[in-house]
Amino acid sequence: MTEKETHWSRFAADFEERNEYVVGKAEIELILRKVAEQKSLGRTLELACGAGTYTQVLAKEAELLYATDLSDEMLVVARKKLPSFSNVRLEKADCFNLPYENNSFDTVFMANLLHIIPEPENAVTEATRVLKDNGRLIALSFTTEGMTFLNKLKMGYRYLRTYGKPPADGQQLTVEGARMMMESRSLTVITAELIGHNVKAVFVIARGNGEV
Ligand SMILES: C[S@@+](CC[C@H](N)C(=O)[O-])C[C@H]1O[C@@H](n2cnc3c(N)ncnc32)[C@H](O)[C@@H]1O
């Protein structure tokens, strides 16, 4: 088990409740609605599915959805939540070394992954490898960009109470940072924006062009 997996695994049992406390239920619902706007996802890969918060929404539009995470504990929790979806396969996978073929997914989705891993651009490279030409990459990550000082302070306090000190190798994602990361991997950025009210998330949609 890697150090990173250990970090998130210990919060698996009540991960969604913890997140709702830190970020706010209304903000998560807003993001879920944004994700639900993405239609006809086709054969889909979700990286770092965690407790399956976004998996349920993706499953409604995916032909076949591989929901993956490095943490066995997270996969156990996600599995309990998803029995009604016959098109979902829960699998253990490391986003830096995916056990899938080149050009095999119409959509790759990742929520709250890029800002918690070291060298997130390598995860984007790997995601791009498995993405079909012209496939859709959707990435979202909570960020403090665009938040008021007071809201940053309040969320920082809730985060510390809930998760303790953040792992040292994560780094804040910004809209411009995400755009550059995608473009440096030869993806064409369709949307790169901040969403949310009191709490913000970077939301990016990009298209693969088969150059990786
Ligand atoms: C902050 S949580 C986000 C979970 C979920 N996507 C969400 O937004 O609710 C980060 C997740 O990334 C997973 N993770 C960490 N490193 C990973 C890696 N190298 N490959 C795949 N998943 C990883 C953790 O196990 C954890 O479930």
pTM of this prediction? 0.96
Going from the Cα of 113 to the center of ligand 1, the distance in angstroms, rounded, reads 5
Going from the Cα of 205 to the center of ligand 1, the distance in angstroms, rounded, reads 19
Q: Give tens-digit pLDDT for 88-137.
A: 999 999 999 999 999 999 999 999 999 999 999 999 999 999 999 999 99
Computed over every residue of the chain, the mean pLDDT equals 94
Q: Whose CA is nearest to atom 10 of ligand 1?
A: 113
Q: Give tens-digit pLDDT for 137-189.
A: 999 999 999 999 999 999 999 999 999 998 888 899 999 999 999 999 999 99
Q: Which CATH superfamily is domain 3-207 in?
A: Vaccinia Virus protein VP39 (3.40.50.150)
**Category of 203 on φ-ψ map: left (φ > 0), alpha (ψ -120 to 50) or beta:** beta
Alpha helix positions (H), 37-71: 55-61
Going from the Cα of 112 to the center of ligand 1, the distance in angstroms, rounded, reads 7
What are the residue ranges spanned by the domains of the chain? 3-207
Closest CA to 35 of 156, 115, 44: 44
113 CB near ligand 1 (under 6 Å): yes
Ligand 1 atom having least distance to the Cα of 71? 25
pLDDT at 77 over 80: yes
The pLDDT value recorded for residue 166 is 87
Q: Give tens-digit pLDDT for 33-53.
A: 999 999 999 999 999 999 999
Total length of the chain? 212
Q: Which residues contact 204 (CB under 8 A, 6 or more apart)?
A: 137, 138, 139, 140, 175, 178, 179, 182, 189, 191, 192, 193
Going from the Cα of 152 to the center of ligand 1, the distance in angstroms, rounded, reads 22
Closest CA to 79 of 56, 102, 97: 56
Q: Could you write out the DSSP letters of every residue in 100-165?
A: S-TT-EEEEEEES-TTTSSSHHHHHHHHHHHEEEEEEEEEEEEE-TT--HHHHHHHHHHHHHHH-S
